[in-house]
Amino acid sequence: MTDPFEELERQLRRAVRISSGERSRRAWRGHRRAWAIVAVAMLVASATALAATRLVGGQSLETQGRKIALRAARETASVPACLQVGGPSTGPVLSEGAPLAAITVLLPSLATPVSSRERAATLAQFVRARLNAILLSRTLRTIPVTPHVQLLVAVGVGESGGESVRSPLACARARLARAQQLDGKRPATVQRWARWRLGQMRDTVPGLQTLYIFELPVPLPPHVLAGGGTADPVRPGHALKPGLPLVAGEPGGARLLIGIAARDAAHIRLQTRDTGAMHGLPTQVAVREGFYAVTVPRGVRKFRLIEVAADGRMLRPVDLRQ
Amino acid sequence: MRSRNEHVVLSSRTDDAGLLRQIADGDERAFSMFYREHLDAVVAFFARRVGDRELALDLTAETFAAVVIGAGTYAGDAPAVAWLFGIARNKLRESLRRDRVEDAARRRLGMEAILLDDAGLEQIDERAGRGESKLLQTLGELPEATRSALIARLLEEQDYGQIAARLQCSEQVVRQRVHRGLKKLRAGLKEES
């Protein structure tokens, strides 16, 4: 791949050249009578607006591009490089290997294996939750985030479910070639949207991993398999971001928020201006191995989470409403 | 509010105002000079604030696209580099407010998305590092008290009040130190060029 900054410079130089031509034409028009300027300006404005949202056959250029990408993926499904490599269909299986740096930068503890007993107990819970995935053995763990909630956490290989294509790079090239055959005569914008959509397809991202998080009530009622769960795909080099990957409903209309904290955050401070609603909202919760859980009672509409470091520094305020 | 002169220290070696006029006239080479002169500092500016390399590249691209579009509107009443970082700050603010990267300028210019691989991501790190080290190297030649005030203000974006509390002096003294430090840095960079 070319240097992204050289590529950016190349595109911008071209834009300088083109926009200069447009300015020259505008200057030429400036010598014409006023009514002509108005008419031309209106025409240019209309053409620009039309170009931006142009519909061909009732579809926007974006939709056409996306459809071409999907068709290219469909039509290359039988190419050897694009054959699906299936994940497990009967529950989780374990694999060796390390989690991506993009994950451990925020959740460093996932790089260190826990005891075999804890690992086995966590795996048993994932089996109970009927998770079909290839999990990295060393990342399996149970993290108690509050006295009433614990998290089952693991990093999996590939997309959620462990499915991927046989050769991601070769498959990406095959899809791109097919898309170019399909969109060769379409406007450049359609081609750009097609390429963009192909780049979004995660099954051709080499080294992609998925972070699985399940919340589990403590104690777990016998009839419950597991609480809510989420699977966040993480691309190599694209760092996992702090945020709220999981929001679950609680009895009485409350909501349980499961968060990944910013690096160095030791606890989360909670604030709301609605003083009546502060009743029942904790003022502070601890961050455990990068995760935290907050139960927000029904009736709390606007509130603020502030990530705070161990030395008291405020790291990041997040305003939320529900 | 940040002083518009703060970013002058990042670069003032070329006649930026002249380059912007040439860019407005369609001079590609002038654009390349302006771009290469300020690229590292702009990448460092975004990388430090968003902590996401891909997002930093997107914001950098959007900022320079806005430069191409708006070069003809630069009035020359403020340093060109302050104008550039004014655009960068606006792009950052918009991005944070809307929780997505604005791409209006790039779309207007018909630019394509830039695909990134691991090597590309490393280059973003390298450029961000160079942008910062360039500034830090020059800062290192300043007296300790002035340097502390400048770093707190320029890199950590602290309020004057916060810096005063940390350095245990009055807000007025901090303002003076920042002002003198910027002046010395500008003078130093001019001598170097």
The two structure tokens encoding residue B115: 């695909």
Strand partners, A260: A243, A291
Would residue A30 count as lying in a domain? Answer: yes
What ipTM was predicted for this assembly?
Answer: 0.73
Would residue A42 count as lying in a domain? Answer: yes
Cβ distance A8 to B60 less than 8 Å, yes or no, reads yes
Residue B96, exposed/middle/buried by CB under 10 A (0-12, 13-18, 19+)? exposed
Q: Residue type for A220, please?
A: L
Taking a contact as any Cβ pair under 8 Å apart, which residues of chain B between 98 and 137 contact chain A?
A: 107, 109-121, 123-124, 127
List the single best residue of B116, B156, B157 to mutate versus A (max A Cβ within 10 A). B116
* Sign of the torsion angle spanned by Cα atoms A258, A262, A268, A271: negative
Contacts of A196 in chain B (CB under 8 A): 113
Contacts of A69 in chain B (CB under 8 A): none
* φ, ψ of residue B169 in degrees (nearest 5): -145, 180
pLDDT tens digits along B126-174: 888 877 766 666 566 667 777 777 767 665 556 777 777 777 777 778 8
All structural domains of chain B, each given as residue ranges with its CATH number in brackets, are: 1-130 (1.10.1740.10), 140-193 (1.10.10.10)
What CATH code is carried by the domain that includes residue A311? 2.60.40.10
Percent of chain B with pLDDT over 90: 7
List the single best residue of B57, B73, B95, B115 to mutate versus A (max A Cβ within 10 A). B115
Cβ distance A4 to B123 less than 8 Å, yes or no, reads yes
Cis omega before residue A108 (within 30°)? Answer: no
What domain range includes position A277? 241-322
Would residue A226 count as lying in a domain? Answer: no
Comparing CB atoms, the residue among B31, B32, B116 nearest residue A4 is: B116
Cβ distance B114 to A13 less than 8 Å, yes or no, reads no
Write the CB contacts of B84 (distance below 8 Å, at least 6 apart in sequence). Answer: B7, B16, B38, B42, B63, B67
pLDDT of residue A279: 64
pLDDT of residue A296: 84
pLDDT in tens, chain A (322 residues): 457 888 888 889 888 877 655 554 443 333 333 333 333 333 333 334 334 434 444 557 777 888 888 888 888 888 999 887 766 667 788 999 999 999 999 999 999 999 989 889 888 888 877 777 889 999 999 999 988 889 999 999 887 766 678 888 899 999 999 999 987 778 888 888 888 888 878 888 888 999 999 888 777 666 555 566 778 889 898 888 888 877 776 767 777 888 999 999 999 999 887 665 556 788 899 999 999 999 888 777 778 889 999 999 999 888 776 5
pLDDT of residue B25: 84
State the nearest Cα–Cα gap between A258 and chain B, in angstroms. 20
Would residue A140 count as lying in a domain? Answer: no
Q: Considering chain A, what is the average pLDDT of its residues?
A: 78
List the single best residue of A2, A5, A26, A169 to mutate versus B (max B Cβ within 10 A). A5
- The residue-averaged pLDDT of B88-108 equals 81
Would residue A85 count as lying in a domain? Answer: no
pLDDT tens digits along A256-297: 888 999 999 999 999 887 665 556 788 899 999 999 999 888
Nearest CA in chain A to B126: A5
Number of structural domains found in chain A: 2
- The residue-averaged pLDDT of B48-67 equals 88
For residue B147, CA distances in Å to B8, B111, B157, B169, B192 come to 16, 40, 14, 14, 19
Q: Which residue has the tokens 């030649």?
A: B141
Reported pTM: 0.50
State the nearest Cα–Cα gap between B39 and chain A, in angstroms. 9
